[in-house]
């Protein structure tokens, strides 16, 4: 007979979103059951953010060795020990894993069930030999790699982000299907490590980013030796011995791409098919579980957060969603998701970081807006560091309110933090103008951009007349 559990909150999914809810609720002494069928930590720890950023860091060091001659150093070409690199990736994962472990959460007071979960009715979830009847449920089951419908792909060996970091050898020639953030990040990293890389994209590369910003990253990618085919259809795939062959077509006609390995990075699909959502009266579709602005589903007992909710797919969004649902469940306070305050970063070199409304979105919503652009190369720190390309782009509305900011620069993911704070708090250009930026830093280029916005005031006749008048008072 199944054991019945009656916690206050049942969380389904032990990734970033679910762990944040479970830890937050347990901290206030609330009874919580957490159900996870796989490895604790979810995609971010095991297959996503952590291993990919570790690989990117190694590739950045390799590129620094390669470029050392520009700074008067003799270094030459880096020698990549890929087995040691592989070990490094898994050492980093292992170092973080205890923070997300069953043992830690059990210690926090969370009851962890290592099993699949399935709704059996609107109020009950079955998990192994347990039935969980909770006051509230939070579905945080994340997403998995989406596999495109390419003829012949089912007969070809290919990698996804879930298997890529198990490689113990450097691919001779890596073909990547998809030029979103994951595809572009991995393309540049593997090229810097010495692999040949070809990327195939059916649309524009980094199509969700501001074209002005993404063009800078794409130019650097191509300059580094990555072959990129945009607006290209894959007609078929086949395995030819140890080679993968893709037959493609674009405006230039039909052509073939051959490589040693194939990485599918063509987006994500929500993990919700096995949850028995219909039994719980939870509306959903191929894009994810349908939620309102408060992240509540059509079943008022159930919230859906993170990737499975079908919105922005970032680990920091998962943490943001967790805070919103905890606010509602624990404190009965209203909460609404605001996607304009969520920063987006592509960890290429240069990085692309954006927050708030893009120029196009701002014009559609408000009509006339001011757009301030400043080249990063104009800053002194960019010159000392040898940064040749980059830009900050600030979109401002009435009375100088900051509506959105985009940055293409080394470390743009760090530089966007201040601007995320500004957008989230409705700050104005005047407020930014008043802060003191340390010199020399890349971040001071933002302050320079704001000053350039006010520079025309110095040439206005009324301002100059006022200054002349004030001179008479000593």
Binding residues: 53, 141-143, 178-185, 201, 267, 307
- The two tokens of residue 48 are 């996503």
Residues 6+ apart with CB under 8 A from 154: none
CB 406 within 8 A of CB 210: yes
Per-position DSSP letters for 171-205, written without gaps between them? -SEEEEE--SHHHHHHHHHHHHTT-EEEEE-SS-T
Residue 131 sits at the vertex; the CA angle it makes with 125 and 136, to the nearest 5 degrees, is 50
Cβ-proximal residues to 59 (8 Å cutoff; 6+ apart), any chain: 188, 189, 190, 192, 193
Asked whether the CA dihedral 147, 148, 154, 156 is positive or negative, the reply is negative
CA angle 129, 130, 135 (to 5 degrees): 165
Which DSSP string do the residues of 294-312 spell out, in sequence order? Answer: T-B-SSTTEEE-GGGGTS-
Distance CA 474, CA 464 (A): 16
Binding residues for FAD: 53, 141-143, 307
Structure tokens at 436: 């003191």
Beta bridge partners of 395: 371, 404
* Backbone phi and psi for residue 183, each to the nearest 5 degrees, phi listed first: -60, -45
For the record, the structure tokens of 241 come out as 């011995």
Which helix or strand (DSSP H or E) is residue 409 part of? strand 402-409
Burial of 188 (C-beta count, 10 Å sphere; 0-12/13-18/19+): buried
Binding residues for NAD(+) are 178-185, 201, 267
Closest CA to 140 of 319, 279, 332: 319
Q: For residue 311, what are the CA distances in angstroms to 67, 121, 282, 315, 321?
A: 39, 26, 17, 12, 11
**391 within 8 A of 412, measured Cβ to Cβ:** no
256, two tokens: 């073939």
Which residue, among 237, 170, 235, has the nearest Cα to 202 in the 3D structure? 235
Backbone φ, ψ for residue 346 (5° rounding): -110, 125
Length of the chain in terms of residues written: 474
169 vs 198: CA distance, rounded Å: 18
């Amino acid at each position: 007979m199944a054991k019945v559990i009656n916690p206050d909150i049942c969380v389904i999914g032990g990734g970033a979103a679910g762990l944040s809810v479970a830890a937050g609720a347990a901290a206030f002494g609330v009874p919580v059951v957490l159900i996870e069928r796989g490895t604790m930590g979810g995609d971010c720890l095991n297959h996503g953010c952590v291993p990919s950023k570790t690989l990117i860091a190694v590739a950045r060091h390799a590129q620094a060795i390669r470029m050392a001659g520009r700074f008067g150093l003799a270094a030459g070409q880096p020698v990549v020990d890929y087995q040691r690199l592989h070990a490094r990736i898994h050492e980093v994962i292992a170092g973080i894993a205890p923070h997300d472990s069953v043992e830690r959460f059990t210690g926090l007071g969370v009851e962890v069930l290592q099993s699949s979960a399935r709704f059996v009715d609107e109020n009950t979830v079955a998990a192994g030999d347990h039935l969980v009847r909770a006051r509230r449920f939070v579905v945080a089951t994340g997403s998995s790699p989406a596999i495109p419908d390419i003829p012949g792909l089912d007969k070809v060996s290919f990698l996804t982000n879930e298997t890529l970091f198990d490689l113990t050898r450097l691919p001779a020639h890596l073909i990547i299907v998809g030029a979103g953030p994951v595809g572009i990040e991995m393309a540049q990293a593997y090229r810097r490590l010495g692999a040949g890389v070809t990327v195939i994209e059916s649309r524009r590369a980094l199509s969700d980013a501001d074209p002005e910003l993404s063009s800078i990253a794409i130019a650097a990618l191509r300059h580094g030796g990555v072959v990129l085919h945009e607006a290209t259809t894959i007609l078929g795939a086949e395995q030819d011995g140890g080679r993968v062959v893709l037959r493609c077509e674009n405006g230039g006609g039909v052509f073939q791409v051959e490589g040693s390995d194939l990485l599918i990075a063509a987006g994500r699909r929500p993990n919700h098919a096995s949850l028995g959502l219909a039994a719980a009266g939870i509306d959903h579709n191929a894009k994810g579980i349908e939620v309102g602005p408060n992240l509540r589903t059509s079943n008022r007992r159930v919230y859906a957060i993170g990737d499975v909710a079908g919105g922005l797919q970032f680990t920091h969004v998962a943490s943001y969603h967790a805070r919103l649902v905890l606010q509602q469940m624990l404190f009965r306070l209203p909460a609404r998701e605001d996607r304009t305050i969520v920063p987006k970063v592509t960890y290429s070199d240069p990085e692309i970081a954006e927050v708030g409304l893009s120029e196009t979105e701002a014009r559609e919503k408000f009509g006339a807006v001011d757009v301030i652009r400043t080249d990063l190369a104009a800053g002194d720190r960019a010159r000392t560091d040898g940064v040749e390309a980059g830009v900050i782009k600030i979109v401002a509305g009435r009375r100088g309110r900051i509506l959105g900011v985009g940055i293409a620069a080394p470390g743009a993911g760090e530089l966007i933090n201040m601007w995320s704070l500004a957008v989230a708090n409705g700050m104005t250009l005047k407020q930014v103008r008043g802060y003191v930026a340390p010199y020399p830093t890349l971040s001071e280029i933002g302050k320079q951009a704001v000053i350039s916005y006010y520079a025309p005031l110095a040439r206005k006749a009324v301002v100059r007349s006022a200054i002349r008048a004030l001179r008479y008072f000593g």
